[in-house]
Chain A
Amino acid sequence: MKKLLAVLKISFKNIFEYRINFLLGQLRQIILLFTLFYLWKNVFSQNSNLFGFNFREIITYVFLVQIIRSIALDTRTDGISDEIAGNGKFFSYLLRPIGYLKYWLTVDFAYKTVNIFFSFLWLFVAAKLLNINLFMQTNYLNLAFFVISVVFSTLIYFFIMSTTSLWAFWTPQVWGAKFALTLLLEFTSGAFFPLNILPTAFQHILNLTPFPYLVYFPASIYLGKVGFLGMISGILIQSMWVLIFYLLNRIIWQKGLRVYMASGG
């Protein structure tokens, strides 16, 4: 545990070493919030209710998505494939008594902590400037389930992306696959729009995949669109996906490491 604490500390230092760069990157966030606001305002200028959302709910949804994204869908694990394909840094970890996956999960944790702080800050600033009255969930049960579902969503995404990065054991060119996957995930997770916009048949298929559980499910809990049973079963399905992707990650790690250690040079 002390080891991971040290990793956490050095990751924070690394983030703040380039604070200007970091803050500029954050600027993107606030511009995005403004864009989303005016886009949906236009859509709702003709209708007061679309796909079971009123204007206030849809704005809350798209703003909330930015928060969930910055926690769950933001990961540094691209570094895994860079390190494996690159020369040197990767095996410095293999030489030292520390678990590689735990290490990366901790690095991610540092970034996510900073992200949470800033994404709430930008949300608050944008809501004030645009004079939006966001939907505030007051039911503690929903809030508690919301937090749990975001944590699970974070783990699912972490294991999916870090497992993808492990393909670098077989080929140094992983970015193409990762790019396609990221796009697919954003589209099918509800990061662009609420998934109930889609045809019902398509939604049924999506529900068999882990994707809607990344963004759409937590956001729906917050907005109170999921009943108690729905929350329970959703969380169970999430934990199943966490387990599946964790195991997949371990298997591919073991196999990849075998290939790596069997190769030369």
Chain B
Amino acid sequence: MQAVISVENLKKYYKAYEKEPGLKGSLNSIFHRKYKNVNAVDDISFKINEGELVGFIGPNGAGKTTTLKVLSGLLYPTAGKVRVLGHEPFKRERDFQKQFSLIISQKNQLWWDLPAIDSLILNKEIYEISDEKYKKTLDELVEILEVKDLLNMQVRKLSLGQRMKMELIAALIHSPKLLFLDEPTIGLDVVMQKRIRDFIKDYNQKYNSTIILTSHYMVDVKELCKRVVIIDKGKILYDGFLEKIVERFSLQRTINLEFDEQIEKNQLEEWGKIKSFDGFNASLEVKKDSTFRDIAGILEKLPVRDLTVEDPPIEDIIRMVFDRETK
């Protein structure tokens, strides 16, 4: 199968201008400016196939948004080969532009002083959408996002969540095959986050559209993406199934224990690090490869009533991966 996106050895370096603080710094900077080299994206490669929903995770400044901008044709790559839907994005060909959408939460393409519907009509003409197609798509989007009454309200009067939905409609009105979503749920309340997530999932499955999503919220990624790409400092640390992250990076497991009678804390110490203990209940952190031996030992020596084994949450593992990189 032909990949929708193929990126080979992409690099995006740029110079950022640095100013010393204060008035003196400002004066100095008139004569000699200091520049700092930023390697926003540093030699990454990946391929994404049609219908995939891939999550990009990484801390602020990791290079996620920069990558999306390169893929959308907003930034030139410093080096490397990028092909998206058979096009070189930075050429910004009309044919290419009609097939994808980039949604960045701080971006607003809606006209603030007018109802959203006017901006949608503008986009209809810009993307040269036929009347029937426009009506059908609009009806569908409005229904899924439940915003029928809001279309005729001035955009500046909408709440953040409502506006985000309108931005989504404006970005999807030309039925893009490919979608880049940068932090789609940022700043939204939990209910709204869930709605947007459901919507993204639906959009992916219903139209077999290809979606890349970046997010700070692990929930977004966990619920939506089978495949994740972990990025930090412009490099890919991991590219693969989300489930496999645990297998690959986690070195510990947690054993939760409940006892029939009270035991002493020091009775547990030989197996691992005690995370919590109150006499009848305990949480133990043990090495992954010795988990079964440890359990066998505990069962033999202590009056265990109940026992569960947990992998650490994905959030913790990813944090650990980033921490390790920093060191």
Contacts and interface: CB of A to CB of B under 8 A. Distances in A.
B120 to A, nearest CB: 10
Contacts of B102: 95
B97 A262 contact: no
Given A17-B113, A91-B69, 18 more contacts: A6-B122, A10-B111, A10-B119, A14-B111, A88-B104, A89-B109, A91-B74, A92-B107, A92-B108, A92-B109, A94-B92, A95-B73, A95-B74, A96-B123, A97-B97, A97-B128, A98-B126, A264-B14
A230 B12 CA distance: 56
Contacts of B162: none
B283 interface: no
Contacts, number: 85
A262 B77 CA distance: 8
Query: Chain B interface: which size bin?
Result: 35 or more
10 contacts: A7-B122, A88-B107, A88-B108, A89-B107, A91-B74, A91-B107, A97-B94, A263-B14, A264-B38, A265-B69
Contacts of A116: none
B118 interface: yes
A233 interface: no
Question: Can you list the 6 inter-chain pairs with the closest CB atoms, starting with the nearest?
Answer: A88-B107, A6-B125, A92-B109, A264-B14, A97-B94, A97-B97
Given A10-B111, A88-B107, A261 B118 contact: no
Which has the most chain B C-beta neighbours within 10 Å: A13, A14, A95, A261?
Answer: A95
Contact of B108 (A14, A18, A89, A261): A89
Given A95-B101, A95-B102, A2 B114 contact: no
Nearest to B16: A264
Given A18-B113, A88-B106, A264 B40 contact: yes
A39 interface: no
Contact of B114 (A7, A13, A94, A97): A13
A3 interface: yes
B320 to A, nearest CB: 28
A95 B108 CA distance: 12
A46 interface: no
A47 interface: no
Interface of B: 12, 14, 16, 38, 40, 65-66, 69, 72-76, 90, 92, 94, 97-98, 101-102, 104, 106-109, 111, 113-114, 118-119, 121-128, 154
Interface string A222-265: 00000000000000000000000000000000000010011111
Contacts of A9: 121
A87 interface: yes
B109 A17 contact: no
A7 B107 CA distance: 19
A36 B139 CA distance: 56
A61 B314 CA distance: 76
B11 to A, nearest CB: 12
A97 B127 contact: yes
A265 B113 contact: no
Contacts of B98: 97
A177 interface: no
A231 B125 CA distance: 41
A130 interface: no
A5 interface: yes
Contact of B121 (A10, A17, A262): A10
A243 B279 CA distance: 87
